[in-house]
Amino acid sequence: MTDNNIEWRRVISVETMWDTLIEIHAAVRADVLHLPHYSVERYGERLARHASEPGWEAVIAYEGSQPVGYVYANTLQADDRWW
């Protein structure tokens, strides 16, 4: 799918896009990476946990060959902790 020169790519396996998701996180959160919650290590822990849950998928936005953003989600289960 494309919109205004942005290409959207659906991903269902985190392994294929792990580095890209980490790099986008680090670029977007550069000003707060020194805070424990936003560190690359903690983000990687959360990403791994979320990606192992049922229904995980992501959409990564590209402008040309450059990734410029993403969103990911998974299916909530009855016993999930959230908020």
Quote the CA–CA distance of 70 and 36 in Å, as a whole number.
22
Q: Which residue has the tokens 């289960």?
A: 77
pLDDT tier, 12 (very low <50, low <70, confident <90, very high otherwise): very high
Average pLDDT over residues 24-46: 97
- Residue 3: the pLDDT is 63
pTM of the complete model: 0.85
Quote the CA–CA distance of 13 and 51 in Å, as a whole number.
8
Quote the CA–CA distance of 48 and 62 in Å, as a whole number.
22
Average pLDDT over residues 32-54: 96
